[in-house]
A and B are shown apart, each in its own frame.
Chain A
Amino acid sequence: MKFNSDEIASVIQKEIEQFSTHIDVRDVGRVLEVGDGIAQVYGLSGVMAGEMVEFASGVRGLAFNLEENSVGVIILGDYLNINEGEEVRSTGTLLSVPVGDELLGRVVDPLGNPLDGKGPIVTSKRRPVEVIAAGVSERQPVHEPLQTGIKAIDAMTPIGRGQRELIIGDRKTGKTAIAIDAIINQRDSGVKCFYVAIGQKESTVAGVIERLRETGAMDYTTVIVAGASAPAPLQYVAPYSGTAMAEEYMFNGGHALVVYDDLSKQAVAYRELSLLMRRPPGREAFPGDVFYCHSRLLERSCKLSAALGGGSITSLPIIETLEGEVSAYIPTNVISITDGQIYLQPDLFFAGVKPAMNAGISVSRVGGAAQIKAMKKVAGGLRLDLAAFRELEAFAQLGTELDPATQARLDRGYRMVELLKQGQYRPLNVIDQVLVIFAGTRGYLDKLPTDRVAEWEDKFLKFMSDQKSEIRKELAEKKDLDDALTAKIRAAIDEFNTQFVGVTEHATVTV
């Protein structure tokens, strides 16, 4: 291939013909000091908060601190090329990022520049990174479910489209895994996904991208990366950029899912910026407006009213706690902003309960409104039952004699815990979830040894899809359980149980 220089020449010629000279009016300032991703600028008296400024070297920045005699600018780019005394000009525009379908399947930095080596992103559409969230009259209550494909979550802490559900837990408790599973499960739902990686190791992010690619989830996902080596300003801006990209779908009647992984690192980046700007530190040295930093971000996730197209942004912010300390500053802030939290506990994780969700303190404030009717019926009291089981279990460990009713409750609990375990990257269809949870909560597994629950589940689902596909079809159509359908499911489970036990006994005899 060779470049066609004639074509280029004609484009340039046209541009020159159209070029008109005019006087360039600009407000300027001079760099007083620069370092650690921020610059102090003298002058720029007309600049507005949040306005983009441009350094003489071409690097862009954001007016962050307006002081009496100087302006604090956060630098979005390479600050090592900026010198003291350099001219800075205001641009009169706000920071914006490219948006649209062209971004799907791409890995970009928080300014929308591609990082995946797949060439430029050709889109003329842009959206401002910081916008004010939709008001009360522009919204409607959350009512459509966003299926994560994870039994424990869809049954006990359901997430609706437009909801903000926090995933909180210590390091290495499977927080990212839940978010990735939720993304993978959106394959057929038409929900566009945005994974915002903030302050993470680049190798971890590469692993996540690879996993999304393998499962085909990259077709509808954009990954926004501000890794651990990215300067603090980019880490701070990343979640807002991701939301701006998702808003393009929401405001056009579509649905989007944004994962912020994780907001504690963003808070740390914001603290770094604020301290460098000499803003007064508050609790845990965070600036006073760190709550606003998160609330204005998460308020942008919502379900728009039907008049505005009914689009939505669902967000899954992730917060990492230290030693299970949920009452630290940032966790309490984000817990109070979001519509519920999924709390992951290390001891459950190490005991092999994955996802390691603590049913007792995990909640979804949207609740049953975000579930299909069938799920609401089968999983109604599941969360409370499981929480009660955990208490009972602790009590039973004391070795006291238990009455048969308590023992039965314990047995049911052990089996439900087994049933809610789920492998990573294996999201389950909501119909299958309803079937297995129905079997569990209605006591069909009570006689089964706990170590065979997983096997039972696999075989049962296979049996249902192979031999009883009409039941699955009916359930998928109705999305509700009426008496007739319930009877059919009961009969199917009984039939399968006879087979399953028969096979087991046969296997035992032959051994």
Chain B
Amino acid sequence: MNYRLICVAILPVLLSACASDPAPEEQLRLTEQALSQANAVGVLAEQSASLRQAQEKLALAQAAMQDEEYKQARVYAEQAELDARLAEAEHLTQKSQQQLAELNNVINRLRKQLGGLQ
């Protein structure tokens, strides 16, 4: 059996999948936007696993773009976008949780003071 022949038969199939994918420029733009939005609300990579994932996947997507592996680039970029959006949502939720805790503190303090005066 001629391995070379099999190889030649399969390769075009594999490559055609890549070749038909256009460069995901728009998706990369969206992903970068999502990441800078996360940065803008104050998400820090040290504190957010989601943001770290987003950054890693964006780097992978950009590398794939360089290699013209557009399908892989799109996959990474799409995932990175959602990772970044999740990081942003997690951060905002966490902040609102802190705000609630602070409010509860203040209210408890006020109640105590009122109780002391009566």
Are A and B associated in one complex? no
